[in-house]
Structure 1
Amino acid sequence: MPVAMIDDLPLSYTDSGGDGPAVLLGHGYFLDSSIFTAQVAALSPQWRIICWDARGHGATPDTPGTPYTYWDQARDALGLLDHLGLERAAVGGVSQGGFIALRAALLAPERVSGLVLWDTEATACHPDDKIGYQGMFDALAARGAIDELTVPLSTQLLGDSDQREHWRATWRRGDLPLGPAARCLLDRDDVSGRLGEISCPALLMWGEHDVSLPRDRMDLLHQRLPAASGVHVIAGAAHTPPLTHPVQTNRLLGEFLAG
């Protein structure tokens, strides 16, 4: 994968290239940019699809001892656009990729032509979620990527998809994002009161069986983003529809981008 140096961070990404309008996509927690392989295949070269690995995920390292926020990661995303010489792009992502996309639109609205948001939210980490995630992070740090922990995690993220074993094997082989990346997730701020500032069109999608993120958090985006679509429910999907249900996802995404 190519690497862009963004403020001394070697940020890994893929770029389908071409002259089409740019689309910048960010993955969810515990995953990486490869979850968008089907979108790259279906939508390029009509669109230039750029996918990137967030800090502590995939081939982008974390920064041990240096805390950061999703605002910092939004600056990473905008820095990648600078690196590629792109003035504007549709920006989107799954879960934490959506946290980052929303903040990029708030930081640089003139550079974000549209938002594509899957299974994400604008609020801070719910207290109950925070307790549950902290317990999971502590168990993974203490015991490693054992099946007892990663089987339910893979099902939570991917539902009954046959992709689950691939990701369990990936977690066994690599470093898990349990340092500053975890604090970034748990301590994120609430930007829901600022959603009215985002005027670009926004496509909202949510997995029907997502147990990580309740539907009402997507409904809040629909209510407060001035140019948001309704919430498109991806039948049968869990928390990562672009990976597990690409046919439904790609149809909606292609229609949105064409519009």
Structure 2
Amino acid sequence: MPHEAFCREAGNGPAVVCLHANASSSSQWQALMERLAPDYRVLAPDAYGAGKSPDWPSDRQISLGDEVELIEPLLAKAGAPLALVGHSYGAAVALLAALRHPERIAALVLYEPTLFALIDARQPPPNAADGIRATVAQSAAALDAGDPAAAAEHFIDYWMGPGSWRQMPERRQAPIAASMRNVRRWAYALLSEPTALAAFTTLRVPVLYLLGERSTAAAHAVAELLLASLPRVERLEFAGLGHMGPVTHPQPVNEAIAAFLALHHPVR
């Protein structure tokens, strides 16, 4: 039986599908959905093991292609042309979904896709992905010791800066700590993705590539590679923001997304 992703939906009009980051869920897009719903039909699915979607059901290591397969029914339901918006892991999934069916993509918005395999393919370790590798190892060790909160602290502080986890309200900490059970599979999917950098030179859809000035070396290294490869890409960096900009500062990020969609996926 095929697995079905839980999906939030709002609005009417041209379709926009929003894919969330790791340690998050479709709820991260609530403000963007409200911003776009007057003009667009916005769909935001939960990935495997996130929100209300099922856990990954196999002993086989998950791939980004498996994540694309999970949302494929939603993409078909959305119809063409559609726009894809992705953040972090979700942006990596969005890129692969666009490669699979570029003819149905009107526009692509990416906030720091975490395709770390591209870094390793360009230069074997040690390299700019060492920080995320070390973080995953620390989080995994904490999980093995029965401490998911410590696992989450390593992960969140890597992406958001030292002390970020301890400053987070407890109500937000609990679901993130629970999600850490997936940290090894997230890392495997992102570090083992076989798609070559050259494949992205064929993706001739308009792309808005969003960056946080204060993000990690790994996120910036992926950006350097993809920005040089995507044929129709526009780069926008947010001063003072980090990797979690869509969550910590949704207003400027969402306005940039809305402006790009108005140009490349306009309401008829």
| TM-score grouping bracket, smaller chain normalisation | 0.7 to 0.9
Unpaired runs of 5+ residues, structure 2, are: 264-268
Please provide the CA RMSD for this pair.
2.5
Do 2:203 and 2:230's aligned partners in 1 also have CA atoms closer than 8 Å?
Answer: yes
Name 1:184's counterpart in structure 2: 189
Change (3 A) 1:117 1:142: same
1:135 aligned to 2:138? Answer: yes
Q: Pick from 215, 226, 229: which aligns with 2:231?
A: 226
Percent identity between the two aligned chains: 26
Q: Pick from 198, 211, 215: which aligns with 1:193?
A: 198
Give the deviation of 1:110 after TM superposition. 0.8
Structure 2 counterpart of 1:258, one-letter code: A
The structure with the largest helix share of the pair is 2
- Correspondence list, 1:97-176, <5 A: 97-124=90-117, 126=120, 127=125, 128=130, 129-146=132-149, 148-159=150-161, 164-165=168-169, 166-172=171-177, 176=181
Query: Paired residues, what number?
Result: 249
Give the deviation of 1:38 after TM superposition. 1.2
1:73 aligned to 2:52? Answer: no
Name 1:251's counterpart in structure 2: 255
Name 2:266's counterpart in structure 1: none
Structure 1 counterpart of 2:3, one-letter code: L
1:242 aligned to 2:246? Answer: yes
Q: Secondary structure at the match of 1:143?
A: coil
Give the deviation of 1:206 after TM superposition. 1.0
Do 1:26 and 1:51's aligned partners in 2 also have CA atoms closer than 8 Å?
Answer: yes
Change (3 A) 1:185 1:142: farther
Give the deviation of 1:68 after TM superposition. 2.7
Change (3 A) 1:157 1:36: farther
Give the deviation of 1:172 after TM superposition. 4.1
Q: Normalised by the size of structure 1, how large is the TM-score?
A: 0.85
Q: Normalised by the size of structure 2, how large is the TM-score?
A: 0.82
Name 1:52's counterpart in structure 2: 45
Q: Secondary structure at the match of 1:154?
A: helix
After the TM superposition, which of the residue ranges 180-189 and 195-204 deviates more from structure 2?
180-189
Do 1:156 and 1:210's aligned partners in 2 also have CA atoms closer than 8 Å?
Answer: no
Q: Secondary structure at the match of 1:205?
A: strand
Do 2:18 and 2:45's aligned partners in 1 also have CA atoms closer than 8 Å?
Answer: yes
Q: Secondary structure at the match of 1:11?
A: coil
Distance in 2 between residues matched to 1:13 and 1:162, nearest whole Å: 30
Do 2:115 and 2:190's aligned partners in 1 also have CA atoms closer than 8 Å?
Answer: no
Distance in 1 between residues matched to 2:27 and 2:19, nearest whole Å: 10
Q: Secondary structure at the match of 2:44?
A: strand
Give the deviation of 1:89 after TM superposition. 1.2
